[in-house]
Amino acid sequence: MKIKTLIGTGLIALSFALGATGCAGTGEQKASAQAQSAKAAEFERIYKEAVAARKKAASVGFEWRDIGKFLKKAKKAAAKGDYDKAIKLARKAKEQGELGYQQYLSQRDAGPERYGL
């Protein structure tokens, strides 16, 4: 009779231990899903900013060559769930858009020198 009680108690303890592990895994999965969701939201924000910077630079004729490539690669990486890479590429595109517009501002009055005219 004691052996059956010990085995039964052992099985109950084992099931509680496994159940606790399962709950911890679920919590970790929720945290991971929330982190992915936060990264996805960050990507969307930065991507929109990059598109706006690209349009601003293009509106004055100073869109840099690789902005479109970076945006396309960023979208592909995001579609695969690689938000770290997607965010990095979107930031590059945004930076190039901003730099293109700054280049316009610095060179808009540039022209040939008027030697003695």
Tell me, what's the pLDDT at 113?
Answer: 73
Structure tokens at 32: 């991971």
**Rounded to an integer, what distance in angstroms lies between the CA atom of residue 82 and that of residue 27?**
22
Determine the average pLDDT of the residues in 55-68.
96
Tell me, what's the pLDDT at 93?
Answer: 98
Tell me, what's the pLDDT at 4?
Answer: 55
**Rounded to an integer, what distance in angstroms lies between the CA atom of residue 75 and that of residue 81?**
10
Mean pLDDT of the chain: 84
Instruction: Give the pLDDT confidence of 20-48 residue by residue, as tens digits.
Output: 455 455 788 888 889 889 999 999 999 99
Percentage of the residues of the chain whose pLDDT score is greater than 70: 75
Sorting pLDDT into bands at 50, 70 and 90, what band is 3?
low
Long-range pairs, 43-51, Cβ under 8 A, ≥24? 43/74, 43/78, 43/83, 43/86, 43/87, 43/90, 46/87, 46/90, 46/91, 46/94, 47/71, 47/74, 47/75, 47/78, 47/86, 47/90, 49/90, 49/94, 50/74, 50/90, 50/91, 50/93, 50/94, 50/97
116 pLDDT above the threshold of 60: yes
Percentage of the residues of the chain whose pLDDT score is greater than 90: 60
Q: Where are the domains of the chain?
A: 2-107
- Which residues, other chains included, contact 39 with Cβ-Cβ below 8 Å and sequence gap of 6+? 83, 84, 87
Tell me, what's the pLDDT at 29?
Answer: 87
6 pLDDT above the threshold of 50: no
